[in-house]
Structure 1
Amino acid sequence: MAGQGFFGWTAGRRRGAALVLTGLVLAGSLLTGGCADAPRRDTTGQEVQRTLDARAAAVLRHDEAGYLAALDPSARQLKAAGRTEFANLAEVPLSSWEYRLTGVRRSGDDRATADAELRYRLDGYDTSPVTAERRLELAERDGRWYITADRPGRGGGQQLWQQGDIEVVRGTHSLVLGVGQEPARLRRIAADADRAVPAVTTAWGGAWAGRVVVVVPASLDAMGRLLGAPAEEYRGIAAVTTGSAAAPGRGGGPASADRVTVNPEAYGVLGDLGRRVVLTHETAHVATRAHTSAATPLWLSEGFADWAAYRGDGRDPRRAAPELRRAVLRGDLPAALPTDGDFRFGGDARALGRAYEGGWLACALIADRWGEERLRAFYRAVGASGARDGAVESAFDKVLGTSLERFTRDWREYVGERLG
């Protein structure tokens, strides 16, 4: 299971480029008997964009020399790293690759720092691009700008091709990209994902892409670098899903390009049932992404994913919700539905377990009492709300004909009955 790291939500993410040009020279000295000089326009942003456009085009036409031509000729280590990264990308099925500048700052006559979005899509899998924030340092040589450093932007992580040679495995409904993994292991993960996709399609009952991209880094530490977070936060977490949630009120719009990232250490110790549950849970996040917005509380998004994973397997809730059952048996029944803060990684593992189990049983209660179709409608209604405040309350009223307060009382009773 996983927590908020499932989503890495970035509601309202920028969709266009906001080019910031600095260093404008406003030369306005008035000459006797003449007129003021016209201001000299700074074209740094346009010139840097041309460098990045050429680099992007080289990636798509598999042109190593063109890709490396964007790098400072004197930066030997950067050139070596760039050559390796380009080779690591060789098997990745890219359909698009572009850079969009969001800011350029001059620092002296021949130096600049640029913030850019790297946007790329995998052919046959991504209907919208993955966006990665990059911080670029550049130098001007003979009238042309060259990259001298290329790092993750604020809060960003490494890219998979920066970690090693990528092995690609295609399943029936899945694409698995792995580094440092045996092909046989990647094929098993693809088989697990292929089982998860039809199960989620049945549970969700609505249109979605019907395919999933799974990323398998070499280690837990490598996973942390990919996600731009301390690796310890993911110890014991078998997999997480990252993607962009829709802005409030935009539920049902185009889905983002999600990635399921597997922790090879935690996933590797799971049995067949555990692997099935994990990848079905993660795939449910992919399927519901277009209807998940910043208005959606984590108890609902994580609870629905667990409900989809456990649906129809006849599992005894007392075994599937051990942490919450312990609380019930000691008379510590939760007073309210789990908050988003209860799903934090890196904290009390038992509290995290109770949050997941509570969300699952909330969704199970809706499915049991109102029916599965009402559960799906409730999920969509919350995600389509124009704001977080009142979204759940409105959906309880309009879809289920109850209130948050009444549902919470019913949920507490349901938890006590199922786990007592």
Structure 2
Amino acid sequence: MAGVRRTVVLMLCGGLVAVLLGGCGGAGEGGGDGGGGGPRDATRAIADLLRQRSAAVRDGDEAAYLRTVDPHSGPYRQRQRTVFRNLDALPLAAWTLRLDDPARVTVPATAERTTADVRLAYRLRGYDTGDATAGQRLEFVRRDSRWYVAGPAPGSRPQPWDQGPLTVVRGTHSLVLGAGRPEASLRGIAAVADRAVPEVSAAWGGTWARRVVVLVPASQAAMGELLGEGPTAYAGVAAVTTGRHRDRTPADRVVVNPEAYDTLGTLGRRIVLTHETVHVATRADTSPATPLWLSEGFADWVAFRGTGRDPREGAPELARAVAAGRLPDSLPADADFARPTDGDGDRVAEAYGEAWLAARMVADEWTPDDLVALYRAVGGAESREKAVGPALRTELGVSLTEFTARWRTYLDHELG
């Protein structure tokens, strides 16, 4: 999943805190008719196998789905029963698997086993305005001239439905998918997300779906698997958002780290999910030109609105730095938001505080509408160099230098 945004628990606690080979596959008792005539025939057979598998998911046909699975794969075949039932519980509007690059799939005529990259594209009815996509690498096996899916290749990233029995909870504005989590816990997350969506809509407006899909894996390690990272990569991170820049039909997902999220209180959970929901809502207007101080600052401004938390409570690490005479000279760089390898999160927390107060200053000293207009203007620029300065001049009537000076004065006033 590309474009991951992180919410750092350390800061919050301190401050409080694939794609389209459509159509029905051919009938038959296996996947892929033939495959014994040479490399091209084998490639066509595997492509046909993926069409059959896709059609079985769309049609809700478990028997047809299992006919695409290696009959001798043992435990994998049994897991695929669970995968199919997980998928059958989802409100799927579209589902398609295809070979990622058929021209690069070369299967020797005598091969009985091969691997290939595949691309999944799917859409959740009522939640996605565009396709969610994911790449996988699968193993295929030929038995009696027919090809079957034999399992994931080493290193292939799982999807939520691959991680065990899935519980699906539908909220008013949310869909929560949890693997290995109590249903009551998932309903609690749905309730928080349901509150976040209208709060974000009130602040942002726009034409976003006004729904949010939340994935809750069983553990922090399982979260790392979903996102292609190690088991401790998201230690101390309550949630992330996945998505693609400049995609006018986004299909973002909020992914919750249950081990970090469960340590938060009621207010912390509200702030985390509201923050992440902002990233979902603003995705179509966020681009590589958008600096993290603006995207993260805006998300925190929305998340903290109405909570009653003042800057010293919401950004204690930054408050301590300012009180000690360490007033920042410039707006935080993107690198300041990266989690440090030495485990010292104070600079990250300070960066989030600096970004939040930059957005808060615009809403206070100009208007909330001006803050939204600034965000949209920056995201619509061709490059970072052509984004912030011109947008500040157009929307707020100040240069970047003037804006920075006012922000430093604002920090000193609020925290000094």
Normalising to structure 2: TM-score of the pair? 0.86
Match of 2:148 among 146, 149, 159: 146
Match of 2:119 among 117, 120, 128: 117
Match in the other structure for 1:310: 304
User: What SS does structure 1 have at the residue aligned with 2:202?
Assistant: helix
Q: Within 5 Å, which residues of 2 pair with 1:43-62?
A: 43-62=41-60
Name stretches of at least 5 consecutive residues in structure 1 with no aligned partner. 9-13, 18-39, 247-252
Match of 1:295 among 284, 289, 293: 289
Name stretches of at least 5 consecutive residues in structure 2 with no aligned partner. 8-17, 22-37
The one-letter amino acid paired with 1:187 is: R
C-alpha distance after superposition, 1:273-304 (max 9, x if no partner): 11111111111111111111121111111111
Match in the other structure for 1:196: 196
Separation in structure 1 between the aligned mates of residue 181 and residue 385 of structure 2, nearest angstrom? 45
Match in the other structure for 2:31: none
RMSD: 2.3
Match in the other structure for 1:263: 257
The one-letter amino acid paired with 1:314 is: G
Question: What stretches of structure 1 move > 4 A for 4+ residues in a row?
Answer: 14-17
Identical positions, percent: 52
Q: 1:169 to 1:346 in 2, by over 3 A?
A: farther
User: What SS does structure 2 have at the residue aligned with 1:333?
Assistant: coil
Separation in structure 1 between the aligned mates of residue 75 and residue 106 of structure 2, nearest angstrom? 24
Separation in structure 2 between the aligned mates of residue 214 and residue 285 of structure 1, nearest angstrom? 13
Separation in structure 2 between the aligned mates of residue 389 and residue 149 of structure 1, nearest angstrom? 46
The one-letter amino acid paired with 1:287 is: A
Match of 2:80 among 66, 79, 82: 82
Match in the other structure for 2:329: 335
Question: Is this contact kept in 2: 1:101–1:116, CA < 8 A?
Answer: yes
User: What SS does structure 2 have at the residue aligned with 1:238?
Assistant: strand
Separation in structure 2 between the aligned mates of residue 270 and residue 209 of structure 1, nearest angstrom? 28
C-alpha distance after superposition, 1:69-119 (max 9, x if no partner): 222333334322322322333322212110132224325322443212111
Separation in structure 2 between the aligned mates of residue 275 and residue 259 of structure 1, nearest angstrom? 17
Match in the other structure for 1:163: 163
How far did residue 144 of structure 1 move? Answer: 3.5
Match of 1:135 among 131, 134, 137: 137
The one-letter amino acid paired with 2:185 is: R
Q: Within 5 Å, which residues of 2 pair with 1:21-60?
A: 42-60=40-58
Separation in structure 2 between the aligned mates of residue 297 and residue 157 of structure 1, nearest angstrom? 29
Question: Is this contact kept in 1: 2:338–2:348, CA < 8 A?
Answer: yes
In the alignment, structure 1 residue 6 sits paired with structure 2 residue 5: yes
Separation in structure 1 between the aligned mates of residue 39 and residue 232 of structure 2, nearest angstrom? 49
The one-letter amino acid paired with 2:234 is: Y
In the alignment, structure 1 residue 363 sits paired with structure 2 residue 359: yes
Q: 1:214 to 1:339 in 2, by over 3 A?
A: same
User: What SS does structure 1 have at the residue aligned with 2:198?
Assistant: helix
Question: Is this contact kept in 1: 2:57–2:88, CA < 8 A?
Answer: no
Match in the other structure for 1:391: 387
How far did residue 346 of structure 1 move? Answer: 4.9
How far did residue 167 of structure 1 move? Answer: 0.9
How far did residue 143 of structure 1 move? Answer: 4.2
Normalising to structure 1: TM-score of the pair? 0.85
